[in-house]
Amino acid sequence: MTARGLECMHELVTMFQETGRYPSRNAESTSERTLAVWVQRRREDARTGRLAPVLREGLAVLPGWEGKPRVEADEERWRQRLETLKAYRAGGNDWPRHKAVITGEEHELGIWLHSQRMKQRRGQLDAAKTAALDEAVPGWRNGRKRGRPAAANATLQS
């Protein structure tokens, strides 16, 4: 265990306490990028059982430091999109469209839903996510029916 290792640990704890996030390897700051690499190496050390006990104890104050923050953030974002889609549909809206002429929430949800459909068709969508979509928004795989919605057709015929 080196003095620099302890210094990095303190920098990481301070950064997390001040910002609520872990350092990024894509940050503008060289010091943040360096710290991100240091954290990645400590994660690897922890996975292989080579992490110094003093670092293990010091880093234990940080929630989920051993995990993969990007993966966890992606999963949380997926869950949020599912909840937003569920609320969108519950609000009486048709399936969101993803075409470029559509904007705002409908467009964002449409792109997300379209990508879920494509992943599912290619067999790349996790079974748990497929099941969550099936439960939360039945019919998600098919989406809109072609042509005008029934309500619009009834209005035109009047």
3-state secondary structure 53-102: HHHHHHHCCCCCCCCCHHHHHHHHHHHHHHHHHHHHHHCCCCCCCCCCCC
Residue 158 is predicted with a pLDDT of 47
One-letter amino acid for residue 73 of the chain: A
User: What is the pTM for the complete model shown?
Assistant: 0.56
Residue 55 is predicted with a pLDDT of 93
Give the integer Cα–Cα distance in Å for 145 and 158.
Answer: 22
Residue 153 is predicted with a pLDDT of 45
Residue 103 is predicted with a pLDDT of 83
Backbone angles phi, psi at 129, to 5 degrees: -70, -40
- Looking at residues 7-20, what average pLDDT do you find? 92
Residue 99 is predicted with a pLDDT of 86
Of 92, 91, 89, 90, nearest to 113 by C-alpha is: 89
Residue 66 is predicted with a pLDDT of 83
Give the integer Cα–Cα distance in Å for 37 and 54.
Answer: 19
Burial 92-120 (b: 16+ CB within 10 A, else e): eeebbbbeeeeeeebbbbbbbbbebbeeb
- Looking at residues 30-53, what average pLDDT do you find? 92
- Looking at residues 22-41, what average pLDDT do you find? 92
Residue 57 pLDDT more than 90? Answer: yes
Q: Tens of pLDDT along 74-132?
A: 888 899 999 999 999 999 999 999 887 778 899 999 999 999 999 999 999 999 999 99
- Looking at residues 150-158, what average pLDDT do you find? 50
Residue 151 is predicted with a pLDDT of 56
3-state secondary structure of 26: coil
